[in-house]
Amino acid sequence: MEAARPDAARTVVPEGRVVVLAGGLSHERDVSLRSGRRVAEALRDTGVEVVERDVDAKLVPSLREDPPLCVVPLLHGETGEDGALREVLELVGVPYVGSAPMSSRAAFDKPIAKAIVARAGLLTPQSVALPHETFRELGAAAVMEAIIDHLGLPLIVKPTRGGSALGCSVVREGSELPGAMVSAFAYGDTALVERLVEGQEVAVAVIDTGDGPRALPAVSIHPDGGVYDYTARYTAGSTEFVVPARLSDELAAECVRVALTAHEALGLRDLSRSDLMVDAEGRVWFLEVNVAPGLTETSTVPLSVQAAGLELGALMASLVGAAVARSTR
């Protein structure tokens, strides 16, 4: 399994109107709008006719009355990545870039994704998923004591469904766990408590323009504060991104293998980004995967695209072409 070569995405300019969907009502609305603007501009630079749209009650009627060539959904968070929007696009009969509804649902739910990739032989940190009601009814103090006894410390707590590290907290002392649970529950009704793997954080994007999935060069992530949280992700200059990642050839190849295995095990298509951790012993751990990765100025995927010798607009145009071709088969 090799990383993508510069010719991995063929430059094909689709003839027809492409709708870029961005915004929505999730906590990641601002990031989605930034991703949408960047992709729309990149597609226009290749000669594609692009219309940028938010999601509202007029969307479905407009798609039915004047169907576009293709939709590029760039909604981050639950409203865009849980499969529901993609299911509606299929009901309307409009081609779209990205994974199918069922695969999107599985990837978006972190415990389910972890279970699937574990069955595929990948390492993923031991964890427990706790709905808020269960946590409260069984007694928060007793449950947290059991968590620490079983998983140990340090831990990382995050919502099971969501992205951009919103509601995510590192727990190094038992006294920090209650606050971390509250933060996670603020962004969802179920929290994932996971054993913290410390080491080098790496992001690997996978693309498929019609000739099979290929990985782009891995990006190593070095946040100034040591934690790759929301601020570190989206504040220019607060995180150093290195591509190709600061890894040995052997470890870089293993990160590529893990990302491709996760992409295929989850049945993903077109574009995904796997978040990985390389520990001090050289083991690569799967953390989560994103079916609508950020494409902003501070996101890792555009850096990988550039490092592979590709242009973002040309890549997205090729993905649009692949989606249209898929719909006509």
Q: What is the CATH number of the domain that holds 133?
A: 3.30.1490.20
Q: What is the pLDDT of residue 15?
A: 83
Q: Please state, in angstroms and as integers, the Cα–Cα distance from residue 259 to each residue in 83, 131, 173, 185, 217, following that order.
A: 21, 28, 32, 29, 11
Please say if 127 is a catalytic residue: no
Please say if 274 is a catalytic residue: no
Please say if 187 is a catalytic residue: no
Residue 201 has pLDDT above 90, yes or no: yes
Residue 162 has pLDDT above 60, yes or no: yes
Terminus-to-terminus CA distance in the chain, angstroms? Answer: 27
Please say if 98 is a catalytic residue: no
Give a yes or no: residue 318 inside a domain.
yes
- As a whole number of angstroms, the distance between CA 236 and CA 299 comes to 10
Give a yes or no: residue 51 inside a domain.
yes
Q: What is the percentage of the chain residues whose pLDDT exceeds 90?
A: 77
Both 246 and 118 in one domain: the answer is yes
Please say if 163 is a catalytic residue: no
Token pair, residue 77, equals 């968070």
Give a yes or no: residue 272 inside a domain.
yes
Q: What is the pLDDT of residue 167?
A: 83
Of 26, 99, 164, 304, the active-site residue reads 164
AA identity, residue 234: Y
Q: Which residue has the higher pLDDT, 304 or 162?
A: 304
Give a yes or no: residue 4 inside a domain.
no
- As a whole number of angstroms, the distance between CA 8 and CA 210 comes to 10
Both 231 and 217 in one domain: the answer is yes
Of 109, 229, 254, 275, the active-site residue reads 275
Give a yes or no: residue 218 inside a domain.
yes
Lookup result for tokens 């992700």:
233
Both 186 and 278 in one domain: the answer is no
Distance of CA 68 to the CA centre of its chain: 25
- Overall number of domains in the chain: 2
Please say if 164 is a catalytic residue: yes
Q: What is the pLDDT of residue 231?
A: 64
Token pair, residue 274, equals 């796997």
Phi, psi angles (nearest 5°) of residue 85: -60, -40
Both 288 and 207 in one domain: the answer is yes
Please say if 23 is a catalytic residue: no
Closest CA to 127 of 289, 293, 285: 285
Of 127, 290, 299, 318, the active-site residue reads 290
256: number of Cβ within 10 Å: 23
- As a whole number of angstroms, the distance between CA 301 and CA 286 comes to 17
Of 24, 294, 313, 321, the active-site residue reads 294
Please say if 275 is a catalytic residue: yes
Closest CA to 295 of 29, 38, 22: 38
Q: What is the pLDDT of residue 6?
A: 42
Report the sign of the C-alpha dihedral through residues 242, 248, 251, 256, in that order. positive
Of 24, 28, 162, 272, the active-site residue reads 28
Of 234, 270, 304, 321, the active-site residue reads 234
